[in-house]
Structure 1
Amino acid sequence: MFSFKSNITLTRGSSRNLYLQLCDQVISFIKSGKIPPSTKLPSSRKLSEDLHVHRKTIIAAYDELISQGWIETIPSRGTFVTSSLPLVQPKKFNFSALNNIAKEKSGFSFVTRPHLLRKLNAKNSLETLIIDDGIPDHRLAPNEEIGRIYRNITKKSYHKNLLTYGSIYGNTELRNNLVSYLNETRGLNVSMDNILITRGSQMGIYLASQLLLTNKNRIITGSTNYMTADNTFTEAGGIIEQVPTDNDGLDTIAVEKICKIKKISAVYVTSHHHHPTTVTLSAKRRMHLLQLAQQYNFAIIEDDYDYDFHYSNSPILPLASNDTNGNVIYIGGFTKIIAPALRIGYLIAPKDFVDEAARLRRIIDRQGDTILEQTLAQMIHTGDIQKHCNKVVKIYKARRDLFCLLLKEKLDNYFDFEVPKGGMAVWVTLNKAYNWDIICSKAKAVQLEVTPDWRRYDNDNSGHNGIRMGFASLNEEEIHEAINRLVTVFEKL
């Protein structure tokens, strides 16, 4: 005979009501087989006396269990565990496991993806400085403008339709405003039909790769490349063909040689600031790549992740601005301009490709944050986005100049680098006498975190010893301190 008095423990003062605590434990005993189907339960009066709680608490618990189908009341007979429940073989019951919801091992098999395994950043103390691989400073985000516009939108009754299902292509007003914004700032010639709103540029890369690379289709990338893009292409089932990159960007002569002997479905390029080395694809190679795309009928996935951040002169127009044959899939977003958490990007392509990408996006993520997209649409219309962009470009340029100056003055014996024309990071090559594993390990001792997974930059295992060192997310005081700590690391070597 199961003893409710000795097995049920209720905690007063808990955030969970007593009757729900009772429900949780009764359900657990039923699931474990300790209380089998058709077992008669104590009366509400008897159980309230045994557990020292008000009878209404027991009645509320029984009502909840009845509504969930765990127990049933039979007139003139009493309350029983539902007879139709399957009989469970009792096991040794571990009551402490009731509150242990973090299970480590699955009780089923599933597909694993080793190529997606990546070292996670450790939790750092407030005193730790981080030299990342080039991300924006979220502290500069225009929070007041975003909040003000967002609140105004939610207050307007005619915006209530934003709370229901919308277009799988994204917010209509945002797409419409992007037409003017992108045509003016990037020299494109697109309409709303060419625009799909995505959850950041990474979703755009994923959608494009799923449509282009299944069945082991081939894609050309640089021998040094954005590792997340490579992982995405591999996940899609594509085969990656690598070509060299130099000071003029992707080697298009090498691209042509591969196209002559193999069927190529796509070429991935970060034309404005090659990731990771930051170099710009030369005008000659841009034209050559477009010619090859037309000749061999492949797509160019142009990831223009930080177009707006060019410091030496005006930003160089993307390949998409000269695409007359419908070969370029142009991907960008507002993550770098505003903040990483603002996951709004766009995929620009011919209408038939956008239509298919939208259908695929529908089964991954039905739609984005419609209110946030409406907020961004208004910020583009009022010019707030461009004003903010102009502001942070000046700040990041000053940080780049200071970071490179201090690297040159204090660490010239250890690093080779060129001052980048744009972007948010410097591509530095460590003297071959030193090892990044040792540097990163010793940096932790002085509370400095240097890009922990540095091997992801060495896609072709050439051992070039180069990494990206971001400057944008550090203010000038932090840059001084980070370089001083790095100097300390090398002095200890």
Structure 2
Amino acid sequence: MNSPVRFPFTSFVQIQRDLETPIYLQIANHIISAIQRRILNPDQKLPGARTLSSELEVHRNTVTAAYEELSQQGWIDIQQNKGAFVLPFSTKNISKQTKSIQDDSHYPEKTGFPFQKSNLLDNPFEYIPCDFVFNDGTPDIRLTQIEDLSRFYSANMKRKSNRKKMGYYNQEGSEYFKKHLSNYLNVSRGFHISPQNLLITRSIEMSLYIISELLLQADDLVIVAELSYFSANMIFQKSGARIQSIPIDEEGLCIDSLKEICKEQTPRMVYVTPHHHYPTTVSLSSKRRLALLELAKEKSFIIVEDDYDYDFQYEKLNNLPLAATDNSGMVVYVSSFGKSLAPGFRTGFIVAPKNLMVEMQKYLGVIDRQGDVLMEQVLGEMIDEGIIHRHLKKSLKIYRERRDHCVKLLNLHLKDWVDVDIPTGGLALWLRWKKPVNLMQLSQKCQKKQLFIPKTLLYQNKNITAIRMGFGHLTFDEMENCLLIIKSVLKEI
């Protein structure tokens, strides 16, 4: 058995002599609490009565009485000529008397100091377990090549050369991964970058946070679409920026409206999702892309291009990112890599000119000092060996089939209720309702029938009633079950 515990009992035994509770019971109750909270472990030897009485400044007989009480309740075992030992914590060895004893120690429910609460950062995400769940467009984890991921990760864990990399902090990321990722982006997205133009982050949201902290100040004007990504808006507002929205139509963000704003004041930043606008899925037209780049150069505002689903393209002719045609350094590009893989294998990144990257690295070093060099090594090897390309090519075929089938089912079951355009890519559809319907009521009734539709997917005001519906994670049968549930609810409303 273990030697007597050596940490000071006064750290958790606090005697209050003005209480009606006898001191020996106070000591016993505090020791019980310490056992329950695993401060004292099973089989640990407690100090002798003389030693503990001296430390707590009480009579030796008081400690002896406390130990006898603990023994009677089944918390300790007193062995003659050996001492008192903590028994394993189990409800079976707790006497009924314990339940009636008032434990004077507790963890505080509230802080003893004031602090500022933020309504801006209230988490809009929710999850209620149901048989079927809608999301805003995520891949199907069932399509992930788990065997490949496991093989690469296991090999890298065992490789001796990687053990040194795991032993120190490295917020700069894996140079091996950045080299292969920059090559991958140059080929797939038309970039002309080097590893020095890349910052590896955990997610797109972390990328936006770093950009916001570095480039925005209080009262800066940030332009977004009238329907935009809520997390990005929250991040910009938290930095103190003013958010102003402009219309969006079938060609994407309305640049003429942006020009009107620029006549009165110059924005600090314009946030866009040009490839497939979030949430409407429309693409920014080539004409408007050029106009936006020209206006940014003329007025010297920053374009933050969020390219959250570039990899999911189903048509041969697609627009390159704005950053690929930006020769003036006006675009900061954020995206993610490995979105078609399991969540733990995905990573975010920022592409920007080198001078800005130096400053961003400082911010990353504060919030993510350790990095994840091992995972980045795995991803780099998967690029190098073509695993990423083969997996994406295979999964794109499936996602395109799911997109087409989902549109077919919508036209079959809900054609009288919704309009839907077929997007050129991505993993979500934009459902515009033809008839007036209370979307919150629809969501609540669907939930009762085992279909969960998060409120973050519902867009409803005096001008629009729409739902962003992800299809990538649903099989054909699951799609049909979901839409039949919606159809049955619509008949009830």
Q: TM-score, normalised by structure 1?
A: 0.83
| 1:2 aligned partner | 23
Q: Aligned with 1:346: secondary structure?
A: strand
**Residues of 2 paired with 1:133 and 1:406: CA distance?**
18
Quote the offset at 1:265 in angstroms.
1.2
Counterpart check, 1:114 vs 2:133: no
Counterpart check, 1:168 vs 2:183: no
**Residues of 2 paired with 1:313 and 1:41: CA distance?**
86
One-letter amino acid of the counterpart of residue 425, structure 2? G
| 2:15 aligned partner | none
Q: Give a deviation string over 1:409-438, Cα, whole Å, max 9, x none.
A: 110111122111111111111234211011
| Alpha carbons of structure 1 residues 245 and 10: separation in structure 2 relative to 1, 3 Å | closer
Quote the offset at 1:487 in angstroms.
1.4
Structure 2: tracts of 5 or more residues without a match? 1-21, 87-100
| 1:349 aligned partner | 352
Quote the offset at 1:188 in angstroms.
0.3
Q: Aligned with 1:112: secondary structure?
A: coil
Q: Aligned with 1:429: secondary structure?
A: strand
One-letter amino acid of the counterpart of residue 2, structure 1? I
| Alpha carbons of structure 1 residues 325 and 120: separation in structure 2 relative to 1, 3 Å | closer
Which residue of 77, 98, 102 maps to 1:53? 77
Q: Is the 8 A contact 1:10 1:18 kept in 2?
A: no
Residue correspondence of structure 1 range 319-330 to structure 2 within 5 A: 319-330=322-333
Quote the offset at 1:95 in angstroms.
2.4
Q: Give a deviation string over 1:418-467, Cα, whole Å, max 9, x none.
A: 11111111111123421101110110121111233345x46xx5541112
Structure 1: tracts of 5 or more residues without a match? 62-92
Over aligned residue pairs, what C-alpha RMSD do you find? 3.2
Q: Is the 8 A contact 1:19 1:58 kept in 2?
A: no
Residue identity over aligned pairs, in percent, reads: 33
Counterpart check, 1:227 vs 2:230: yes
Which residue of 95, 109, 113 maps to 2:103? 95
| 1:376 aligned partner | 379
| Alpha carbons of structure 1 residues 223 and 163: separation in structure 2 relative to 1, 3 Å | same
**Residues of 2 paired with 1:426 and 1:47: CA distance?**
68
Which is worse superposed, 111-120 or 467-476?
111-120
| 1:317 aligned partner | 320
Q: Is the 8 A contact 2:431 2:469 kept in 1?
A: yes
**Residues of 2 paired with 1:337 and 1:439: CA distance?**
31
Which is worse superposed, 2-11 or 286-295?
2-11
Q: Give a deviation string over 1:210-254, Cα, whole Å, max 9, x none.
A: 112112211111011011111111011111121111111111111
Quote the offset at 1:13 in angstroms.
12
**Residues of 1 paired with 2:315 and 2:289: CA distance?**
19
| Alpha carbons of structure 1 residues 60 and 304: separation in structure 2 relative to 1, 3 Å | same
Which residue of 134, 138, 159 maps to 1:135? 138
Q: Is the 8 A contact 1:440 1:449 kept in 2?
A: yes
One-letter amino acid of the counterpart of residue 117, structure 1? D
**Residues of 2 paired with 1:470 and 1:96: CA distance?**
52
Quote the offset at 1:207 in angstroms.
0.8
Quote the offset at 1:106 in angstroms.
3.3
| Alpha carbons of structure 1 residues 19 and 272: separation in structure 2 relative to 1, 3 Å | same
Which residue of 235, 238, 241 maps to 1:238? 241
Residue correspondence of structure 1 range 252-401 to structure 2 within 5 A: 252-334=255-337, 336-401=339-404
| 2:96 aligned partner | none
Q: Aligned with 2:343: secondary structure?
A: coil
Q: Aligned with 2:431: secondary structure?
A: strand
Which is worse superposed, 216-225 or 1-10?
1-10
Residue correspondence of structure 1 range 329-478 to structure 2 within 5 A: 329-334=332-337, 336-455=339-458, 457=459, 462-478=462-478
Q: Aligned with 2:320: secondary structure?
A: coil
| Alpha carbons of structure 1 residues 42 and 250: separation in structure 2 relative to 1, 3 Å | farther
**Residues of 1 paired with 2:360 and 2:282: CA distance?**
30
| 1:18 aligned partner | 42
Q: Aligned with 1:267: secondary structure?
A: strand
**Residues of 1 paired with 2:471 and 2:82: CA distance?**
60
**Residues of 2 paired with 1:479 and 1:168: CA distance?**
42
Q: Is the 8 A contact 1:131 1:450 kept in 2?
A: yes
Q: Aligned with 2:77: secondary structure?
A: coil
| 2:194 aligned partner | 191
Q: Aligned with 1:371: secondary structure?
A: helix
| Alpha carbons of structure 1 residues 36 and 439: separation in structure 2 relative to 1, 3 Å | farther
| 1:210 aligned partner | 213
Q: TM-score, normalised by structure 2?
A: 0.83
Which residue of 112, 121, 129 maps to 1:124? 129
One-letter amino acid of the counterpart of residue 473, structure 1? H
Q: Is the 8 A contact 2:78 2:84 kept in 1?
A: no
| 2:58 aligned partner | 39
**Residues of 1 paired with 2:381 and 2:188: CA distance?**
17
**Residues of 1 paired with 2:444 and 2:148: CA distance?**
41
Q: Aligned with 1:221: secondary structure?
A: strand
Q: Aligned with 1:285: secondary structure?
A: helix
Q: Give a deviation string over 1:76-122, Cα, whole Å, max 9, x none.
A: xxxxxxxxxxxxxxxxx952975xx6x65433322211122234424
**Residues of 1 paired with 2:387 and 2:374: CA distance?**
17
Quote the offset at 1:288 in angstroms.
0.7
| Alpha carbons of structure 1 residues 364 and 433: separation in structure 2 relative to 1, 3 Å | same
